[in-house]
Amino acid sequence: MTDLPPFKENPWAAPRVNVQRCDDGSLLVDCDRVPQRSYHNVIEMLQRTVAKYPKRRFMAEKRAHSLGEQACQTENDTDWTFVTYEAIDKQTDALAQWFLDNTQPQANVMILSHNTLEHAAVNLAGMKARCPIAPISPNYSLLSKDFNKLKAIFAKLEPQVIFVQNISHYGRALKALPLEHCVVLYAEGEAPEGIYAVSFADAANTAVTFQVADAIQAIQGDDIAKILFTSGSTGEPKGVVNTHTNLCSTQASLLTVIDVDEENNPPILLDWMPWHHTYGGNQNVHRVIKSGGTLYIDDGKPLPGMFEKTLNNIKTVPLNCYTTVPAVYALLVDAMERDDALREAFFRHMDWCSYGGSDMPQETFDHFQQLAIRETGKRISMITALGATESAAVTTIVHWPTTKMGSIGLPIPGTQLKLMPKDDKYELCVKGPQITPGYYQAEALNKQVFDSEGFFHTGDAVRWLDPEQPEKGLQFAGRVSEDFKLLNGTWVHTSMLRIDLQSVLAPLVFDVVITGQDKPYLGLLIWLNEDVVKRVFGMPDATAEELAAHPRVIARIRQSLYEHNVQHSGASTRIERARILTTPPSMDTGEMSDKRSINQRKVQVLRANDVAALYADEPDDSVLSDLRSPQSQSAVSPVVN
C-alpha cells in the first residue's frame, strides 16, 4: 500500500555505510560516523545524571522496598514505588562502603534474584566499590532440582557476597553452595540457620567514608564491571566479561544515530527483560542512566496468567518508548485490538518501539501499525538490532523507519564488521570498543573465538537485503551451528525458514522447531499461542490437550502450512509433517531461555519421541500430514484477525 500515513517523526540519523572488499573475499563494513564521547565508566555516567537531574525518578516498581524511607517515595494515585537519582546515589555510596569493609579488593558479587530496586542498588554499589557484579538467572536457583549450573558458576566466580531478594525463597539453593567464605546479603525473609547473612537495610545504613570516593576515582575503563553468563540457548553458559568501556561505549555509539532529548523527553520504559541478560541489564538500564530517564520494573511476564499484569502496568506508566521480544508484541497487539483503553494508553506518548532476541513476523508488525494508525493517525518506527552478551547488547541497528521486517541494520558507529563468505551468506565477525575482552577464566576458548586481527567470531550468519544497496542493511541468516542437511545432502537454513513459518502461522502459534537433520524431509514441532487460540475458537476453558486435538484448530494450522508449502515447494523449505506440542518449553532443562528464545537442538534431544513421531512409517493421529492439500473453508473457519 502506498497511501499509508507517515511515521511519527524522530530526529534520527540516516543510514550510512562503508564496504571494503578484501583479497580473501571477506568484506569489512563500518559506519563513517564518529561516536559521541564515551564516559570512562558507568559510575561517571551515573554521577553526571545525578548532578543534572537529582530529583528525577530513576526506577520504580510495584512492591514494598528495603531502600529506606529517604530513598523511596510512593505515588499517591498508584502503587508504584520509585527512587530518584539523588537517592540511589546516596544509597549506593553506603552499600559500596559496606562492600569495601567486608570484601577483599575487586571481589566478585553474585546476584541470584529477579529485577528489583535492591538488585539495581547492589549492581551500582558493586561498581562503585570496584567489585565485578555477576547477575545469575533465578531459574538456576528456583527451578533447578540439582543446582548443577548454579554450583558450576559459583565455583568459577568464587564470590565473597551473594545477594538475594528474599532469602526464604533461595534457602535450598544457598544450602547447596559452599558458603564458608561468602556472606549472603538479603532484602526480605528470615535467614536460615547455618548461613552468615546480613540484611540489605543494615548494609545500606553503613556510614560512608572517603574510601568510596577513592574507589570510584580508581575505576579504570578496562576494569570488569559485570560478568554475564550466556543463556545457554546455543550451548552451556559461559561467563562473558563486560568492562566499563564496553558498557559506556555502547550508549555513546547508539546516541550518535538515535538522538534523545534528555532535557524535555527522556526515555520512560516499562521493562520485564531480566538483568542477567545483556539487553535488559545493560542496554535498557544504562540507556535510562545515560539520558536521565526512568525505568519502571514490569512485574508481568509473557507467561500464562502473568501478562495481564503487563497490560495493567501499561495503563499507568507514561511510556514514550517500548522494548521487548517479538512474542510479546504478538500478545500485545491481540490485547490492544480488544481493549480501547489499553491501546490509547500505549500510544498516548509513544515515540518509537524496538524488539530483539528473534525476528518479528511481518503479520505482527503490520497489525501493530494498523493499531498505531487507528489511535494516532501515524505509524510508529520499530527499531531492531543484532547483538550478543559479548557485544554489550548491540552490534548493528536499524535506526531508520522501515516497513519490512527482517533487517538487522548496519554497524553502530565505532564498530567494524568482517563478513566471511559461507555458502550464500556470510559469517559475522565484529570488532569494536563494546566487544568483550573475553570469557571469564577461559583462555583456551578465547583463543578460539578471536582471530589474529582481533575480530570476535559471533557464530551468526548474515546476508545483505540488497547487495547492490548496502545502505538498506543486513539480514540475520541464522546461527551457523543451527543449519543442517537433509538425508539427500540439501542444506536447510533454519532461521529464515522459521521466520517464514512464524509469519504464516501467526497469531495462533507461539513458536516452532524445525526438524529433519539426516532425515528425508522437514518436520515441524509447534507450540500454540493458547490464549489467542482459546479466544479465536471460543474455548476459554479448554486444556492444552483439547486445543491441540480440536478439529478446527488442526484445520487452521494445516491450511496455514499448506499455504506455506505452495510458496516454498523445495525440499529445504517444504514442511511434510507437523505435531502440536501440549507441554510448554522448559527453562529448567534449557529448551527456552529467560528472553523466550528457543534452543532448537535441545528441544529435539529432550523431545525425541515427538520428533520420532514425525518420521514414523505410519504416523498416529497427533501428526499433521498431507500438508500439500488445501482445507475446506468450513473446516478452517473462523477467520483470524
pLDDT, residue 395, reads: 97
When pLDDT is averaged across residues 386-406 and rounded to a whole number, the result is: 93
Strand runs labelled E in 78-173: 81-84, 109-111, 133-135, 161-166
Can you list the domains of the chain with their CATH numbers? Answer: 18-38+248-480 (3.40.50.12780), 85-219 (3.40.50.980), 483-636 (3.30.300.30)
Query: Torsions phi, psi of 188, nearest 5?
Result: -140, 165
For position 638, what pLDDT does the model report?
A: 52
What grid cell was written down for 297? 520494573
- Of the CA atoms within 13 Å of residue 530, those in its CB half-sphere come to 21
Instruction: Tell me the one-letter amino acid at 550.
Output: H
* Across 402-412, average pLDDT: 93
- What's the sign of the alpha-carbon dihedral 403, 405, 411, 416? negative
Among residues 610, 114, 478, 57, the alpha carbon closest in space to that of 289 is found at: 57
Cβ(595)–Cβ(273) below 8 Å:
yes
597/578 Cα distance (integer angstroms): 20
pTM: 0.83
Q: Which long-range contacts (CB under 8 A, 24 or more apart) does 562-566 make?
A: 562/627, 562/628, 562/629, 562/630, 562/631, 563/504, 564/500, 564/501, 564/504, 565/627, 565/628
pLDDT tens per residue, range 499-533? 889 889 988 998 999 999 989 999 999 999 998 99
What's the confidence (pLDDT) of residue 2? 60
Helix (H) or strand (E) holding 524: strand 522-528
Instruction: Bin 453: left if φ > 0, else alpha if -120 < ψ < 50, else beta.
Output: alpha
Residues 83/64, Cβ–Cβ less than 8 Å: no
pLDDT at 492: 86
User: Is the model's pLDDT at 67 over the cut of 70?
Assistant: no
What are the tens digits of pLDDT across the range 462-494?
Answer: 999 999 999 999 998 888 777 888 888 888 888
Region of residue 36 (phi > 0: left; psi between -120 and 50: alpha; otherwise: beta): beta
The pLDDT of residue 14: 94
Please provide residue 229's backbone torsions phi and psi, each rounded to the nearest 5 degrees.
Answer: -95, 130
Using alpha carbons only, give the angle 285, 288, 294 rounded to the nearest 5 degrees: 105
Residue 239 near residue 134, CB atoms below 8 Å:
yes
Task: Quote the pLDDT of residue 641.
Answer: 47
Q: Taking a C-beta distance cutoff of 8 angstroms, is the pair 267, 320 a contact?
A: yes
pLDDT band at 631 (very low <50, low <70, confident <90, very high): low
DSSP 292-356: T-EEEE----SSTTTHHHHHHHHTTS--SEEEE-HHHHHHHHHHHHH-HHHHHHHHSS--EEEE-
639 pLDDT higher than 60: no
- Cβ atoms of 582 and 503 closer than 8 Å: no
Does residue 475 contact residue 463 with C-beta atoms inside 8 Å? yes
Taking the C-alpha atoms of residue 507 and residue 499, their distance in angstroms, rounded to an integer, is: 13
**HSE-up of residue 278 (Cα within 13 Å, Cβ side):** 29
